[in-house]
Structure formats: C-alpha cells, structure tokens
Chain A
Amino acid sequence: MTLIPLGIPRRLLEFTIDGEPVRAPEGSTILDACRSVGKDVPTLCQGDTLTPKNACRVCVVEVEGARTLVPACSRKAEAGMQVQTDTERARHSRKIVLELLASSVDLSTTPEVAGWLKEYEAKPDRFGPDAARLNEEPKIDNDLYVRDYDKCILCYKCVDACGDQWQNTFAISVVGRGFDARIAVEHDAPLTDSACVYCGNCIEVCPTGALSFKSEFDMRAAGTWDEPAQTETTTVCAYCGVGCNLTLHVQDNEIVKVTSPHDNPVTHGNLCIKGRFGYQHVQNRD
C-alpha cells in the first residue's frame, strides 16, 4: 500500500464482470476489480489491511469454467476471466452462509449484516430453536478490552493482525476444530496470563464486535452506546516519536474508543497500547 507507486507500471488485465469488459492491474483480486467498477459484493472476513483468509465465503462469485464458486476477495483476476457476481447460484450460497452464521452466532453488532439478510431473504430461524449455537459468555478479564466470542465468525483477522501480518506477538490463535473451533490464547488462559501486549490491533480489525473496548462493551450493556451521537477526530499520538494517527471517538465529551486510519502508510491502522488505550489522562479534569 505505497502511496507513490514504484517501479514499472503493472500490466492491465482485461476480463469481464457480469458481461461488461473491465481492466484491472495485474495482481488485483476479483473484489478489487468489482469495486473499481462500482459493483458491490458482500464481504465479512476480508479486511483492507490484511491478506484475506477467504473463510466466510459470503463473497463468492461464479467464474466461467470453475467447478465451484470462487471467493472474490482472494482470487486474483486473470486475463479473459468471465465473472458473474450476482447469479442465482452465487446468491444461493451467500444466503445459506448468512443463515448458517446468523443461526449460530450473534451478529447484532456486525455492520451491514442486517441489510444483507434482508437482501438475500435469509431466514436464520428455519433451522429450528434447537440449532446449535456458540453460546459463549463474554470473557471480561482485564480493564482494556472484552472478548465476546459469541459474536465471533472465525474470520481469522485478529489472529493475522496479532501474528505475522502486523504485530508479531502471536498471542491468539484458532484452537480446536470444526464447530468447536474458537479463538483463544495459549491453554485457554485469561488474557492477562497470555502473551497479549494490548496493542488492540485485533479490535481494530474485528468485523463483528466480538472484540471491543471495555468502554464500548459497558456502554452497550448499559444502553448508553450511541454511535450517531459520536464525533470522530483524527489527531497525532503524543506519546512517542513514531507519530501514529489516532481517531478519537467522542460521545458526550468523553473519549469512548480509539481507532486508527487504515490508509495511513506507516501504521495501516495499527497502534500500541499507549495510543490505543492510554487516553484516560486526557479526560481527567480534577
């Protein structure tokens, strides 16, 4: 994600999306190409700062000649490819994926899902009242952030952000397998006994709110979380010389959480514990 392109310009590939000819630079994904021509494909596990794990399968599209559907978020575009983004077949898989997810986890804090459920006429209830659910209790074991894995769709983003893609701390991973797979730290210990350094980069990338600031979690529980009433101000972190950008989310004159702009070429949305959580001193007025 360099701001100034270096080296020779990339070759343009020509292919079609829904019958329309498109050109995209070599190396683009089908999703990149779709977005560049204004086509919307739903995504959940894809993230703008990470290599997608293509695990959710909500972005599947039909590619001429492929036996199965193809994840738009990670399949690279190829010259001559014929992509169909909105066929009955692709819509069917998206609908089922949404139903499977919504019937097993709590998607109430996942942005856009409510709209997709409607758009694809998904009926998560049809698996019956006894359909297995994650049924996880929120893990509240520190003052900075809460892990509410009842909302986790196992998108692997937090694992990648904590691991080799950004933080290199490797404090969390997927454990167990199949429906019993969960995100956890070593030995399923509390976060405080783990390798976590509280950079909060996992919260930054979590698409479902399974990971959230303790402040947000508490306010939601109290019914006082009011996103439309919040203002966002991007500023520079004052702690050290790196100069990361912070976006302060302020409600009723209180900082309620801190994020970081993903398009910043230096930090890509990542911060350290001080920038992410060390804002209390700003609002201590007495």
Chain B
Amino acid sequence: MDLHFGDSKPTDEERAAIDALLGPPESSWEGADRSDADLRWARGGREARERRDLLLPGLHAVNDRIGWISEGALDYLCRRLTVPPAEAYGVATFYAMFSMKPRPATVLHVCTDLACAAAGASELCAGVEARLGLGSGVAVERSPCLGLCERAPAALAIKAGDPVRTAVSAPATVERAVLAASSPDSAPEEPSAALAVPQAAEAGREELVLLSRVGVVDPASLDDYRAHGGYTALRQAFAIGPAGVIREVTDAGLVGRGGAAFPTGRKWQATASQPDHPHYLVCNADESEPGTFKDRVVMEGDPYSLVEAMTIAGYAVGAHKGYLYLRGEYPRALERMEHAIGQARARGLLGDDVLGQGYAFDIEIRRGAGAYICGEETALFNSIEGYRGEPRSKPPFPVEKGLFGKPTAENNVETLVNVLPILTMGAQAYAAIGTGKSTGPKLFCVSGSVDRPGIYELPFGATLGELLDLAGVRKRLRAVLLGGAAGGFVRPDELDIPLTFEGTREAGTTLGSGVVLAFDDTVPLPRLLLRIAEFFRDESCGQCVPCRVGTVRQEEALHRIVGRTGADAAPDIALLREVGRAMKDASICGLGQTAWNAVESAIDRLGAYE
C-alpha cells in the first residue's frame, strides 16, 4: 500500500489535538520533521496498520478542539495512522457530529424529535435561531432525539476548545438554551439522574431492582456503590466460574433489552465456546432510538453497576477486553463512566488481576459521533474499527466473527445490568419475576403526554394501562408509540396489552427497547409520521437500495398526503405499502427492515388518513 497524502498541512492546534491522543510522531513517515534517522528507518507494516481503530477517536480529538475537521488535519491524522485519506474522508462524512467545513466553535443541537416536537420544539428552534443569528458564533442545528425526552424540549450545546465544553438545557426555554450555548461553563448543572426516575420519590422504591441505587448512591463514589451491595455479584461470579455464570443467566431466562430480544445465555454460550481468540465483550450504549433514554439514566445514576456487569459478562464469555460504545451526545454519561472505570482500575476491580482472582479485564470507552445506525451490532463493530458505520451482512454472526473479526458478545446496557440481580438473588428468584417467557424487571422510557415522564421499572407483565397510570397519562390520549420509531402505534382502547415480549407480539406490535410515547389529540398525527419517516431517511447508512431510496420515496409520499384523507390519500398509501413491504423484506439490516413499521401501524391501527 503506497499511500498518497496531499500537501495540505495541519495547523499547530490541529497537530496538538492529534498528538495529544497519539503521542508525538516518531518519524517523518508519520508526519514529524525529517531527521537523519528517517533516511534509514521507516515505521510501517503491521505495526502501523494496527492503529486504524484510533481513527474515530482521532476525528473526535480534532472536532472537539477545533469544531470542524480541515483537510490538513485529516491528512495528518491519516499519516499518523496509515489510513488512506479517501477512506478517512468517507468515515468522517458518515457522522453527523463532525463537520468537514468551517463552522462556529459552538454548535447548539436543538432536538426536534417526537417528544420534543410534542413539547414545542419548533417554537424553541425558531426562538433560538432568532436570538442566535449570523455572527453570534453559534451554529444552531436541528437534531434527532437527544435522549432527554423526559425533560423535553431539549438542547445540547457543544463548544469546541481545549477541553471541549458541553451544556445540556432541558427542559429548554429560548433563554436557557441561548445561555447554554453562549457560556456553557456557567449554565446551571443538570438535575440529578434520580429525577428521571419518578418511582424513586415514591413509597414503592424497595421494589425496584435495576433502579434501586439510582438517586441513592453517589455516582462518583466506588465506596458508596460497595456500601449498597456493589461487587457482590462479581464475587459470586468468581465463586461459580464462567460456565456457572452462563448457566445462571440462561436459567434466569434473560432476554436482550436492546430491541431484538435475543436470549442472552445463548449468546454468551455461543461466544464462550468459540475456539478462535481473543474474545471481546461490547456494551451497546449507543441509544439513539427516538424516545429511549434508559441507558443514559443507568449510566448517569449508577455507573459502577455497568462496570461490574461488564466485568462479569467479560468473565463469562472469556473476554479480556470490553468496549463501551457510548452515544456521542451523552456528555454526562461519558464523564460518569470514565470516572467509574478509572476508579475501578485504580482499585484493582479492572486491570490485570481483577479482585485478585487472576482474571484480566479492562474497559475502553468509544464515543459515537451521531449515527443511529451505529447501534446496529455489526455497524457498531465497523465504527469501532475505524470504518464507516455500515452494517455487515450476516451470517457470519458476531458470536463467531464480531469485533476485529473475533468472537464477540454484544449486549445492551440494561441487559448487562440485569446480570447483577440474577447473580445476587439467584436464577430462580429472578425468573419468578415477570411472566414465564419474559422474566425479570423491565425498564420503560415513558414520555410525551404524561404528567410524570421518566424511566419506570416494572416486572414484565404489567399492562400498558398500568404503566401509563403510574406516569399520569393525560386526558384525550390519541395514540401510544410502543417500541420507539422502529416500533408501532397502538390505540387508547388497547391499553390492556401486557408489556411482555409475547404479549406485544400477540397484539401485533413490539416492545422494542421499551419506549412508551404517549400522544394526546393535540399532536398532529400526519406531522408525527412525517418526522418518523424523516428520521429514517436521515439515518439510513445508504448501503442498500431498498432502504437508501425507499426511505426517501416514503417520506415524499407522506409529504404529499399530509393534509389528505380517504380517496385522496389512497394511491400514496398503496405506494407506501408496496415500498414498505420491499424494505422489510430486502433491506440488509434492522433499520431498513423496521423503518416503515410505525407509519404502517398508524395507518392500520389508528386510521391515520381516514
């Protein structure tokens, strides 16, 4: 490979940002000034190629410090990592948070997604844009769901510099959002994660299993975590050995909480038994599904639980390295997880010899950069490896060929955190919670037209109506979106649907990742559907035709019928159905396969255009 680099040079600041991540370059081959030694020595070959996975962190480093990525900076990064510039350009342009053109140092992301739209995002946007016009030094960008739906409408300010500064404003007013953007350092601190857990304030909190520590422990204190039962599950894991852990998880009937509902024990067993090594553990904390914010609350409120759970999962599947792929728009979760991992490492709970048991395990955080598709498990591997976040075709499955082509178990944050009670209370006691086929507790992200939006923990089997009662559903409920943008709508007369995998399936809908978005009749349904279509069109990776073009054609059809009903809408609805069917059947990955579900259910179950 004979790489060609242009003659654009990085600025000193760009160079410093990259060198801060990678260390100074060792020779002129990777961008240093030429020295005599360079005439006789070249860094290259295997050693250099292995650093490709630092591409995404490198792009972040530049974007964080400068606010955008220039030709010179990209070329220098490529030289350092021996990555062809065309490929790096393809990667950088894939992510929404990176800009390849100069822009103001501060970007204010204003959420215009479902819950925020219902809470007045368009007025917020208009107000913010009026105040932060040209010359204000702030770029205002409309953003998909920021994962702050319980405090909608939401805005996130990111100010490039060293260090980068962020401020969240939610619920946002024009004044507060403008303040966050203009001086992120003096913006008021975000409310505690416990506020996203309405049950925490109530009497029934002893019943909480997964959320029992949120709002109780100090998320920064490892000692506090231990004082509240932390690390007993890991001790138990060491006591029963990897096979014992997998047996417990299997007997407990744990099923993945990331949306696809795959049995966790089976995934772990399949990974653990692969002859190829090393094995990897990946925690999927990408959480970009509109309406989902449970993983954020767990990471912000009880970060050590995830560190402990990842350690157990890694031990079970025979991995010595775990990656936490964390959504790029979650600054506080990032900070808390970084801190927790650092503390755990300092105290021998991560590292070469975890708890003195001779087991080596460490966790590396990788930040996403604004791409919902990177939550798809194989796209996530590509993203970590420094490639475009495009899903791979399956088979082969991740348990066989996953991250870096090695056997990999990938799990959602909530799935992993469930392993702690399984080990502390035992598989049987755990399986007694919920129903026979959907065992254990489940987190639901409730937002929209309810009085107490937030994360609710209920045993599987509670009905939709019970959940909405807890959250204080408002009068004149028009529709509930179950399972997020990739899920489906149900009617207000269907609230007796049991919240289990089998119950929702029987009712012809899905639990997805546990999103429950309530809409009263003030929300214009056709607009909402248009927003969902727009989301999928924006987030399609573009790899396969049914999804790349199909999402565009569907959005166009929905535009045409926004104000229409009956016979006026019929031809376009027929077209939507035909395209939707092919997308479901022929797309490569779950994004294209589910992109049409919500709209289809609105037409069929809600009679959206009748």
Residues of A within 8 A of B (CB): 53-58, 60, 68-69, 71, 74, 76, 89, 92-93, 95-97, 100-101, 103-104, 126-128, 130-132, 153-154, 163, 168-181, 184-189, 193-195
Contacts and interface: CB of A to CB of B under 8 A. Distances in A.
Contact of B552 (A68, A179, A185): A179
Given A132-B552, A180-B542, A60 B84 contact: no
A179 B549 contact: yes
Nearest to A188: B89
B588 A54 contact: yes
B388 A193 contact: no
A89 B549 contact: no
Contact of B542 (A97, A171, A181, A194): A181
B543 interface: yes
Interface residues of B, number: 52
Contacts of A89: 585
A170 B388 contact: no
A131 B553 contact: yes
5 contacts: A97-B545, A170-B84, A177-B373, A178-B539, A184-B89
A68 B593 contact: yes
B541 interface: yes
Given A92-B581, A127-B553, A131-B556, A179 B86 contact: no
A186 B575 CA distance: 38
A174 B89 CA distance: 9
Contacts of A71: 393
Given A68-B584, A187-B74, A177 B542 contact: yes
Contact of B6 (A153, A154, A163, A186): A186
Contacts of B581: 92-93, 96
Given A55-B543, A126-B575, A193-B6, A178 B548 contact: yes
Interface in B520-547: 537-546
Q: Which 7 A-B pairs have the closest CB atoms?
A: A170-B84, A195-B4, A181-B542, A173-B90, A96-B582, A186-B85, A100-B549
A4 B406 CA distance: 32
A53 to B, nearest CB: 8
Contacts of B89: 173, 175, 184-188
B6 A101 contact: no
Nearest to B75: A186
B585 A100 contact: no
B453 to A, nearest CB: 30
Contact of A55 (B2, B545, B556, B575): B545
A170 B2 CA distance: 9
Interface string B542-572: 1111101111110010001000000000000
Nearest to B590: A68
B542 A185 contact: no
A96 B539 contact: no
A178 B4 contact: no
B545 A184 contact: no
A54 B584 CA distance: 16
A177 B371 contact: yes
Interface string B573-610: 00100110110111110000100000000000000000
A148 B86 CA distance: 18
Contacts of A95: 582
B37 interface: no
Contacts of B537: 178-179
Interface centre among B542, B545, B575, B578 (most CB of A within 10 A): B545
A30 to B, nearest CB: 13
Contacts, number: 169
A158 to B, nearest CB: 11
Interface string B50-74: 0000000000000000000001001
A84 to B, nearest CB: 13
A187 B71 contact: yes
Given A100-B549, A100-B550, A56 B544 contact: yes
Interface in B140-181: none
B393 to A, nearest CB: 6
A126 B575 CA distance: 9
Given A172-B86, A186-B88, A195-B4, A127 B542 contact: no
Contacts of A103: 549, 553
B451 interface: no
A176 B393 contact: no
Contact of B585 (A60, A168, A173, A188): A60
A65 to B, nearest CB: 13
A144 B544 CA distance: 30
Given A55-B544, A195-B3, A69 B586 contact: yes
A173 B575 contact: no
Given A97-B546, A128-B556, A174-B388, A92 B578 contact: yes
A28 B593 CA distance: 27
B130 interface: no
Contacts of B585: 60, 68-69, 89, 92-93
A177 to B, nearest CB: 5
Interface in B95-112: 100
A186 B90 CA distance: 8
A179 B549 CA distance: 6
B1 interface: yes
A256 B435 CA distance: 72
Contacts of B11: none
A274 B48 CA distance: 31
A174 B90 contact: yes
A177 B100 CA distance: 14
A194 B86 contact: yes
Contacts of B273: none
B586 A195 contact: no
A169 B85 CA distance: 11
A69 B587 CA distance: 8
A78 B588 CA distance: 20
Contacts of B556: 127-128, 130-132
Contacts of B6: 186-187, 189, 193
Contact of A96 (B88, B371, B538, B550): B550
Nearest to A78: B395
A177 B550 contact: no
A174 B88 CA distance: 10
A97 B540 contact: no
B183 interface: no
A181 B2 CA distance: 26
A174 B586 contact: no
Contact of A179 (B548, B579, B584): B548
A8 B47 CA distance: 36
Contacts of A184: 86, 89-90
A103 B541 CA distance: 20
Contacts of B587: 57, 68
A185 B88 CA distance: 10
A81 to B, nearest CB: 13
B540 A68 contact: no
